[in-house]
Chain A
């Protein structure tokens, strides 16, 4: 299960600097897997070639250090499911790809920074605030509800 937090539960070691965490994964030669390839495909529209290179959407072969920070956060989430990964540097596409692809792990994000459906009708395995979601459209509605709830709180409504 991928656990999404809107605030730090302070029960897990947190990774805020995903660039550094990713560089450590590469240094330690963590083997990239099919989920990493899928994340690079969705986020970069590129192809992971091996542990050190990828082909970007324009066909250029680049070192994996040139992956976007969001893509690096996604790969870190995939490889370190016992940590809490801070997604503040992720764009909507990276956040959504993590939800679509990573079946376990822990992430923290701001619900105001939206998500979109990139599951291609595949299911998800996500837990948010004690609720389980297996369908991305249900999760999208839930995010809307959370935003509405937060807006109401800010405006002082009961």
Chain B
């Protein structure tokens, strides 16, 4: 389990792999924001969005630099057809948890599983 003490606290219950969320899950962007906050505090997490992609940010290089243990790929539908990113995600997902905001029912790489996000004032839980 990955756990960090932002406000609200976040718990992510999954093994290394590539995950998306069940349709209708709300709070994904909020989760990405909390992961980014934790990363700013020095935790080995990475958030990567469409604007990083457009600016040519190298996902694998960023992850290697911080020895990432958790990656959140936001708005992945916008660049899911990029085979280079697909390869990077598949490579990362062998060792760490890669979460993606992905809406397509036929993405180029299928998630290992679809997660559910629940939220209270104190806890945001991903299972």
* A interface residues (Cβ-Cβ under 8 A, vs B): 16-17, 19, 44, 57-58, 66, 68-70, 88-93, 110, 112-114
Once the chains bind, are B24 and A112 in contact (CB under 8 Å)? no
**A44–B26 touching, CB < 8 Å:** yes
> What bracket does the count of chain B residues touching chain A fall in?
10 to 19
A16 to B105, CA, bound (A): 18
A112-B106 in contact (CB<8A)? yes
B106 in complex: contacting residue of A44, A90, A110, CB < 8 Å: A110
Q: Judge whether A93 and B24 touch: CB under 8 Å.
A: yes
Q: Which residues of A contact B106 (CB under 8 A)?
A: 110, 112
| B interface residues with partner A (beta carbon < 8 Å) | 23-26, 28-30, 50, 75, 77-78, 101, 103-106, 119-121
Contact status B104-A113, CB under 8 Å: yes
Contact between A112 and B119, CB atoms less than 8 A apart: no
B82 to chain A minimum Cβ distance, whole angstroms, is: 14
Known: A88-B78, A89-B77. 16 other contacts (CB 8 A): A17-B78, A19-B50, A58-B119, A58-B120, A68-B26, A68-B29, A69-B29, A88-B77, A88-B103, A89-B103, A90-B103, A91-B24, A91-B25, A110-B105, A110-B106, A112-B106
Docked Cα-Cα span, A90 to B78, in Å, equals 11
Interchain CA distance A80-B61 in the complex, whole Å: 39
Bound-state Cα–Cα, A150 to B64, Å = 42
Q: Are B29 and A66 in contact (CB under 8 A)?
A: yes
A-B contact pairs, 14 of them (CB 8 A): A57-B26, A58-B120, A68-B29, A69-B75, A69-B101, A88-B77, A88-B78, A88-B104, A90-B103, A92-B24, A93-B23, A93-B24, A110-B105, A113-B103
